[in-house]
Amino acid sequence: MLIANPIYDVVFKYLLEDAKIARILIGSIIGETIEKLTFLPQEFVNEIEKSGKKPKTRPRLARKDSLTVYRLDFSARIKTPEGYKNVIIELQKAKFPTDIMRFRRYLGGQFSNKENVQRVKIGTTTRKTGLPIISIYFLGHKLDYTKASVIKVNRQYIDLIEGTVIDIKEAFIESLTLDSYVIQIPFLTDKRRNDLEILLSVFDQSNPADQDRHILKINEADFPEKYRPIIRKLQKAVEDASIKKKMELEDGIIDELEDMERVIEELELENEVIKQKAETIELEKEAIKQKAETIEQEKEAIKHKADAIEQENELLKKELEKLKNLMDKKQKDFPSE
Residue 94 in domain: yes
Is the pLDDT at 317 greater than 70? The verdict is: yes
Is the pLDDT at 55 greater than 60? The verdict is: no
Is the pLDDT at 51 greater than 50? The verdict is: no
CA dihedral in degrees (124, 126, 129, 135; nearest 10)?
80
Write the pLDDT tens digit of every residue in 192-249: 889 999 999 999 998 899 888 899 999 988 899 999 999 999 999 998 888 888 888 8
Residue 9 in domain: yes
Write the pLDDT tens digit of every residue in 261-314: 677 778 888 898 999 999 999 999 999 999 999 999 999 999 999 999 999 999
Task: Categorize the per-residue pLDDT at 258 as very low, low, confident or very high, splitting at 50, 70 and 90.
Answer: low
Region 104-132 average pLDDT? 80
Write the pLDDT tens digit of every residue in 184-200: 999 988 778 899 999 99
The reported pLDDT for the residue numbered 39 is 82
Q: Nearest CA to 264 among 44, 57, 59, 56?
A: 59
Domain range holding 31?
2-240
Q: Which letter, b or e, does each residue of 211-223 get, where b requires 16 or more Cβ atoms within 10 Å of its Cβ?
A: eeebbbebeeeeb
Instruction: Specify the DSSP element, H or E, that contains 326.
Output: helix 241-333
23-37, 53-67, 160-174: the lowest-pLDDT one: 53-67
Task: Categorize the per-residue pLDDT at 41 as very low, low, confident or very high, splitting at 50, 70 and 90.
Answer: low
One DSSP character per residue, 256-314 reads: HHHHHHHHHHHHHHHHHHHHHHHHHHHHHHHHHHHHHHHHHHHHHHHHHHHHHHHHHHH
- Tally of domains in the chain: 1
Per DSSP, what are the bridge partners of residue 4? 215
Rounded CA gap, 50 and 262, in Å?
26
Residue 320 in domain: no
The reported pLDDT for the residue numbered 285 is 94
The reported pLDDT for the residue numbered 120 is 77
Work out whether the CA dihedral 156, 157, 160, 166 comes out positive or negative.
Answer: negative
Residue 337 in domain: no
User: Residue 17 in 3-state DSSP?
Assistant: coil
Write the pLDDT tens digit of every residue in 151-172: 999 989 999 999 999 988 888 8
Rounded CA gap, 319 and 204, in Å?
104
Region 95-99 average pLDDT? 69
Residue 279 in domain: no
122-131, 279-288, 318-327: the lowest-pLDDT one: 122-131
- The most confident of the ranges 43-47, 99-103, 155-159 is 155-159
Residue 91 in domain: yes
Distances (CA, A) of 305 to 12, 60, 298, 301, 309: 85, 69, 10, 6, 6
* Between 290 and 108, residue with greater pLDDT: 290
* Between 44 and 99, residue with greater pLDDT: 99
Mean pLDDT computed over every residue of the chain: 83
Rounded CA gap, 21 and 12, in Å?
11
